[in-house]
Amino acid sequence: MASGVLNRPIPLDSLTVNAIVSAPLIAIDDNEEPVILEALPVMAWWVRGILLIITVCLTAVFAVACWIRPYDTDGEIRETYPELGLPPCTFKYVTGLPCPSCGMTHSFVFLIHGDVKNSFLSRLSNPVGTLLASFCLAMIPWNLGSVVLRRPLFIRSIEGALAKFIGVLMTVLLLRWFIVMGCLLWEKYH
């Protein structure tokens, strides 16, 4: 064998592709038919660590929501939660109009206290906040299961699922805000 043969690059044909791939995973189903299986990659340690941190943060958010009292001593819904130490909404203070996320805290608090009706329908709550709170509640066991099994449960890609969820959430949040703004403008001018 000539020494120049090993140092020469292999030419790639433009009509074909040369690739080194692993053999497909094959299983046999009940009908003795071969089925190609797809391998799910194991999540890296740092991804599992981030999922655990997210789980701790979500648990803290729900613990605070559990600590907040949604009703005053007369049983009326409280307008604000001063125990959080948050300033009033800057958007509402400057414009006099509700911001797109107005009512999210009320939705979380009502849902955690088991008041699903007020979480969706109270004049102070935001139904999108109820959907977000429900999603976050479901994420806690999902995160723990994914960490234990070292792969994402029920989905192929965390990034893809998260991107879709954020897109849907923002669309619904803004759609709801446009409806609220339209109703406020309708009341003001009619």
Phi, psi of 163 (to 5 degrees): -65, -45
Strands 25-28 and 34-37: antiparallel
Q: Helix 127-149 vs helix 104-112: angle between axes, to the nearest 10 degrees?
A: 60
> Is residue 110 a contact partner of residue 138, using CB atoms and an 8 Å limit?
no
Identify the weakest region by mean pLDDT among 63-72, 136-145, 153-162, 173-182.
153-162
Residue of higher predicted confidence among 69 and 37? 69
Q: pLDDT class for 116, splitting at 50, 70, 90?
A: very high
Look up the pTM and report it: 0.74
Mean pLDDT estimate for the chain:
85
Residues 6+ apart with CB under 8 A from 144: 55
- pLDDT at res. 93: 87
